[in-house]
Amino acid sequence: MGLLSDPNRRRALIGLLTRLNAPICVVCYMAGVAWFMGLAFEPFTLRTYMSENAMGSTMVEERFPAGERALATGREFAAHKKKTGGMPVDWLVKTMQSRGLEVFTQRFSRRLPFPDEDKERYMVKGTNVYGILRAPRAPRTEALVLSAPCTAGDHNNQAVGLLLGLAQYFRNQVYWAKDIIFLVNEHDLIGMQAWLEGYHHTNTTGMDWSPLQGRGGSIQAALSLELSSDVVTSLDLVLEGLNGQLPNLDLANLFYAFCQKIGVLCTTQGKLQRNDWDSVSGYSHAVQTMMLMAMKQASGRPWGDHGLFLRYHIEAATIKGINSFRQYKTDATTVGRLLEGMYRKLNNLLERLHQSYFFYLMSSLSHFVSIGYYMPAFGLLGVILLLRVSSTGYLTQFDVVQRSLHAKSIVLALDGDAGLRPVGHGAGLEGAEAGGRALPGRAAGLHRAHQLLPGLHPGSHAGARGRLRHAQRAKVTRLQRLGDRCGSVRSLTSRSSSPPRRVLSAFVLVVLSPACTLLFSVFFFQELQEMPVSFLDGWMLYLSVISQGILDHALYGSLVYPLVALLVYPCWLLFWNILFWK
Amino acid sequence: MKILGLLSLLATHLSANSVNIEENAGQFFSSGHTNNWAVLVCTSRFWFNYRHVANTLSVYRSVKRLGIPDSHIVLMLADDMACNHRNPKPATVFSHKNMELNVYGDDVEVDYRGYEVTVENFLRVLTGRLPPSTPRSKRLLSDDRSNILIYLTGHGGNGFLKFQDSEEISNVELADAFQQMWQKRRYNELLFIIDTCQGASMYERFYSPNLMALASSQVGEDSLSHQPDLAIGVHLMDRYTFYLLEFLEDIHPASKSNMNDLFKVCPKSQCVSTPGHRTDLFLRDPGSALITDFFGSVRKVEITMETVNLTDPIEQVEQNFVNEDLQKESYSYVDQLPVSEIIHQGLQLVNNNPGLSHPHLSFTGQSVCCRPSSISSI
């Protein structure tokens, strides 16, 4: 007989799980954390490789000559930007037209729910300018996008200059099979969101924009350029987009392949690749890179202008030019050549990028782990939740009931996860907040189901409460981020009867609250980026992170703020109930 | 055909060669074929398969140079590389890097193009089961005295060849097609060359007589591409066909190289894969089969000064020499294209010319195909 259908074996298994519950939980937790840490260890990672056959290798000849002229155009752009105090629309339109593109503009405006931290503005108004280079012989069915943001001050002038220089160079070539759209967006992400919504005829965030007069077909790939200096020492690739979405790994592979071919120093997460993976510092460097990527994905905000393209299934990335104190400098012509090579290869595409991974973590630009490798770590943390369900007496009772009553109905009643009618009050859980209103109903249902069980004394209140408590916790702690809280909190609250223990548990609960976790993450994030902040700066940063999260949700539909406010926070509040249950 | 050959011997004179003419005459027809055909197929489409089209066009070029005319070549190209939007040099297909050799040229005649290159059409061409409306340029009108060269290139695997990314032809189907050809007396001898990955698997199942086969790689091996061109951005040729082309450039219509030399083309050191060949079904000794038996269309002509005794004497016509002046009419050539008449008669002559409206006429290279237009060419 099978393991679960044989009653003796089942009883033995259940006994084992209930006896060794805490140790197994601890082991699973350690294993999960160790697995995640081990992902950065180089022998466990895979080298990146090009999956798309149509893109092939870096087998093109890059001939972009006009880096200096591009920088001069950038300076001109800067001058006009200062003169108009915002986006020099007329000058841009004229310049793009002189380069032979079809130029269009789009006006947009947005009222922010509250003024944002840096810029203190309520109403955002702006104009996007974009020029379309039509493919000389191809039908207008597909397009590629190259964009550079127009930021106030002295930033990104060289990016716009390079964009215009590339536009002029690309216009003279005959081998384009897709239209290329050169976009200069104002107000970074807000402008980009307006342009994308206008392009795809959607209006998800309530922004006000004028319809686009010119289009170029379905966009296959997009690159966003951020370049603020004449020479760069390295190029940084930013992949994380809205809600933690990533572009197809082939885009990163393409970038890396061209970096190697041209000989430019390329980084991801701003961290340089190291060769000494077997040393402690090399390994910790890789772990830091990977943790940074995971945290950036968890924050749910787009880390570059490319982040909003991903929602429309357009593979996009941002390339940032970094000028640090290094001897070997790369000039604008070389950066232009790299972009030219990338676009020629993207031109060869016949379908959207889909051959390589969509979910991955990179410990450096040349090594990655795919979801098949990092998900077991979270799976192990999830197993802890299942084990908690099966703890102390719950499963034994379940077994008794199974044998004496009709299996299905009681399983439903005891499970209580879905489909049970919530009763209004009942269990007397006063502490439940608005978000958790559904839960006491289910808990009450359980309470009632408990009364259906024969052979159980109504007086075994403690046992029932324990069962209820455990069942509640099982439903409530379904999220991965709560896995660690569960492991630690449960062990403290299970037998919390003495006041000192309660005080200790309360303190731990406060430390593990969403607010404190976020505060610690902010400090941790700054540490990982090797830019540690003082407490006051960190506190200001923390407040701006919260407000930015709310703004992201309002402006682009980021899901992190609703998730935290409606799911994580109420669950944490429920823990207080568990803690102070009488 | 035989009488024509003997009469050609009689008609001309030669000095210096005291070879026995009668022996040579016997040798001329040792191969048993009187005409040559070629079926050249490129089965893959998309821009990154540029090299397959270049392979096929190089073999086409060699075969034409050695004498097989367009009317005896069935050229099937699955995609149009010369007019592809990504080609930086429109209307050209290069086989050597730095754009030394444009195999597309001015006089390429593609018989099956684009989506017409399917397994069904290929098999119908081979077996001759085409609808009556098919034009002659799309038919393989071979007879039992034809030597046929069949060249296939594309992506293949163990026992199959991929057509157009959507269907395959298996080695069993190919072998059966050749058997049908043999039963219908559609070939005298057939040379089958295939340049794909695991190409040797395609000739494993042949069972008809008079077949010789060459492949660029064995089962389990991949055929590799030769050289990339950075300006165009793709690989230009496959290795096996590249070295085959180099070998064929040395062959001229009168050369005596035989099949054993062909088997030595592209050894493992150059090709990385191991080329294979199969001669057990071939009834003659491969050493006696000339390259030009398959790749060229050689008219067997030898000029001799000697006379050959025919069995029947030729009746001598009595000639009466009349000494008076014969009225000699002076003849002159008629103007083949009376331009002045055309110009003065206006446009009515143009509409009478049926050849211009034929859709399958030759695909002239230079600027015709690549007009910017919104209609895709295939």
Q: DSSP letters along A455-483, please? A: T--TT-HHHHHHHHHHHHHHHH--SSHHH
**The token pair that represents B128 in the structure block:** 């001759």
pLDDT digits (tens, 9 = 90+) for B58-74: 999 999 989 899 999 99
CB A223 within 8 A of CB A306: yes
- Phi, psi at residue B73, to the nearest 5°? -120, 130
The residue with greater pLDDT, B82 or A15, is B82
Residue B221 has pLDDT above 80, yes or no: yes
Between CA A170 and CA A240 the distance in angstroms is 28
Q: Which residue from B85, B230, B235 is facing A138, i.e. has the nearest CB? A: B85
User: In this predicted structure, what is the pLDDT of residue B59?
Assistant: 93
Look up tokens 């195909």; give the residue.
Answer: B369
* Cα dihedral A397, A402, A404, A410 sign: positive
Q: Which of A169-178, A373-382, B303-312 has the lowest mean pLDDT?
A: B303-312
Q: Which of A418-432, B235-249, B306-320 has the lowest mean pLDDT?
A: A418-432
- The per-residue pLDDT of chain A, averaged, comes to 81
User: In this predicted structure, what is the pLDDT of residue B58?
Assistant: 92
Residue A486 has pLDDT above 50, yes or no: no
What mean pLDDT do residues A228-247 have? 93
Between CA A104 and CA A215 the distance in angstroms is 9
CB A433 within 8 A of CB A451: no
> Strand, helix or coil at B351?
helix
Q: Which residue from A61, A175, A350 is facing B230, i.e. has the nearest CB? A: A61
CB B205 within 8 A of CB B184: no
From the candidates B83, B197, B266, B271, give the one annotated as an active-site residue: B197
Which residues in chain A touch residue B376, judged by CB atoms under 8 angstroms apart?
139
User: In this predicted structure, what is the pLDDT of residue A310?
Assistant: 94
Which among A316, A162, A337 has a CA at the least distance from the CA of A264? A337
Residue A261 has pLDDT above 70, yes or no: yes
B47 interface with A at CB cutoff 8 Å: yes
Which residues in chain B touch residue A174, judged by CB atoms under 8 angstroms apart?
88, 90
User: In this predicted structure, what is the pLDDT of residue A40?
Assistant: 87
| Partners of residue A131 on adjacent β-strands | A103, A182
Residue B21 has pLDDT above 80, yes or no: no
What mean pLDDT do residues A178-187 have? 94
Which residues in chain A touch residue B87, judged by CB atoms under 8 angstroms apart?
175
Q: Which residue from A139, A173, A345 is facing B376, i.e. has the nearest CB? A: A139
User: In this predicted structure, what is the pLDDT of residue A140?
Assistant: 87
A26 interface with B at CB cutoff 8 Å: no
Residue A295 has pLDDT above 90, yes or no: yes
Residue A161 has pLDDT above 80, yes or no: yes
| DSSP class of A210 | P
State the pLDDT confidence band at B150, using cuts at 50, 70 and 90: very high
Instruction: Give pTM, 2 decimals.
Output: 0.77
User: In this predicted structure, what is the pLDDT of residue A442?
Assistant: 39
User: In this predicted structure, what is the pLDDT of residue B360?
Assistant: 38
B136 interface with A at CB cutoff 8 Å: no
Look up tokens 């996860």; give the residue.
Answer: A417
Identity (one letter) of the amino acid at B345? Answer: Q
- The per-residue pLDDT of chain B, averaged, comes to 81
Q: Kind of pairing, strands B189-195 and B146-153?
A: parallel
Which among B257, B57, B260, B63 has a CA at the least distance from the CA of B147? B63
In angstroms, what separates the C-alpha of B195 from chain A's closest C-alpha? 20
CA angle A242, A246, A252 (to 5 degrees): 135
Look up tokens 């298994």; give the residue.
Answer: A13
**The token pair that represents A97 in the structure block:** 């037209």
Whether residues A139 and B374 touch (CB distance < 8 A) is answered with yes
Between CA A334 and CA A178 the distance in angstroms is 23
State the pLDDT confidence band at A445, using cuts at 50, 70 and 90: very low
Which residues in chain A touch residue B88, judged by CB atoms under 8 angstroms apart?
173-175
Residue A31 has pLDDT above 90, yes or no: yes
Q: Which of A284-288, A295-299, B94-98, B353-357 has the lowest mean pLDDT?
A: B353-357
What mean pLDDT do residues B107-132 have? 94
Chain A: residue whose CA lies nearest to B231: A61
Residue A413 has pLDDT above 60, yes or no: no
- Where helices occur in A172-279 by DSSP H, the ranges are 188-200, 249-262
State the pLDDT confidence band at B320, using cuts at 50, 70 and 90: low
- HSE (side-chain half, CA atoms, 13 Å) at B258: 8
Q: Which of A166-175, A466-475, B139-148 has the lowest mean pLDDT?
A: A466-475
Whether residues B86 and A348 touch (CB distance < 8 A) is answered with yes
Is B155 labeled as catalytic in the residue annotation?
Answer: yes
Whole-Å CA distances, A405 to A15, A398, A401, A453, B150: 21, 10, 6, 9, 77
Q: Concatenated DSSP letters for B301-341?
A: ----SS----SSPPPPPP-----SPP-PPP--PPPSS-HHH
The residue with greater pLDDT, A211 or B299, is A211
User: In this predicted structure, what is the pLDDT of residue A183?
Assistant: 96
> Strand, helix or coil at B213?
strand
B48 interface with A at CB cutoff 8 Å: yes
Residue of A62, A134, A175, A340 to mutate, testing the B interface (most B Cβ within 10 Å of its Cβ)? A175
State the pLDDT confidence band at A492, using cuts at 50, 70 and 90: very low
Residue A482 has pLDDT above 70, yes or no: no
Q: Kind of pairing, strands A102-111 and A208-209?
A: antiparallel
State the pLDDT confidence band at B10, using cuts at 50, 70 and 90: low
Which among A435, A434, A431, A467 has a CA at the least distance from the CA of A575? A431
Q: How far apart are the first and last CA of chain A?
A: 44
Between CA B334 and CA A369 the distance in angstroms is 81
Ramachandran area for residue A96 (φ above 0: left; ψ -120 to 50: alpha; else beta):
alpha
User: In this predicted structure, what is the pLDDT of residue A468?
Assistant: 42
Residue A471 has pLDDT above 80, yes or no: no
User: In this predicted structure, what is the pLDDT of residue B363?
Assistant: 37
In angstroms, what separates the C-alpha of A176 from chain B's closest C-alpha? 6
User: In this predicted structure, what is the pLDDT of residue A306?
Assistant: 94
B368 interface with A at CB cutoff 8 Å: no
Q: Strands, E, within chain B: which ranges?
A: 35-42, 73-77, 112-113, 146-153, 155-157, 160-163, 167-170, 189-195, 211-215, 228-229, 234-235, 276-278
User: In this predicted structure, what is the pLDDT of residue B302?
Assistant: 67
Between CA A344 and CA A63 the distance in angstroms is 11
CB A553 within 8 A of CB A546: no
Interface predicted TM-score of the whole assembly (ipTM), two decimals: 0.72
B285 CB-near residues (< 8 Å, 6+ apart): none
What mean pLDDT do residues B199-223 have? 91
What mean pLDDT do residues A336-344 have? 94
